[in-house]
Amino acid sequence: MDCLICRINDGSEPAPHGLLYCDDLWVVRHMPPPYALAGWFILQTRRHCPELAEFTDAEAASFGPMLRRCERAVREATGAARIYTGSLGEKVRHFHCHMVPRYEPAPQGALGWETFGLERRAAAGEFHVEAAEVDRVVRAFMARLTAG
């Protein structure tokens, strides 16, 4: 089995900014460049698990509290008006949950599902998010996440 997220989790595939949080069940990282938004984080299972329906009891019991903890840190680090949460698992079949800040005003006018299209638009060169801003948000997220 060749799984991108498993390679990220074991360190054989680099993650920009590194793995920001790791425990026995969960890993948190920032989306790679080209950046669509500063503060677009991913919460993923440590073990290979294709979807939420396949969670162990421990993963199921801890998912909600872990997601809440991370999304609070995203909101505090970004000042976002909302945090969008989504998991599809079509491109990479290893459970991962997108935590996407919705800024005010909405970048590129993207609201709701349109926000998830920003990744493709950034890759096409339609707009650019500065790496320094992503670095700032990652540092702020880490400070808030580790503060509890």
**Measured CA distances, 90 to 36, 95, 125, 135 (Å):** 19, 10, 24, 28
Phi, psi values for residue 45, rounded to 5°? -70, 145
pLDDT in tens, the chain (148 residues): 799 999 999 999 999 999 999 999 999 999 999 999 999 999 999 999 999 999 999 999 999 999 999 999 999 999 999 999 999 988 899 999 999 999 999 999 999 999 999 999 999 999 999 999 999 999 999 999 998 6
Regarding the domain with residue range 4-146, which homologous superfamily does it belong to in the CATH classification? Answer: HIT-like (3.30.428.10)
Domain boundaries, the chain: 4-146
**Angle formed by the axes of helices 57-78 and 131-146, to 10°?**
120
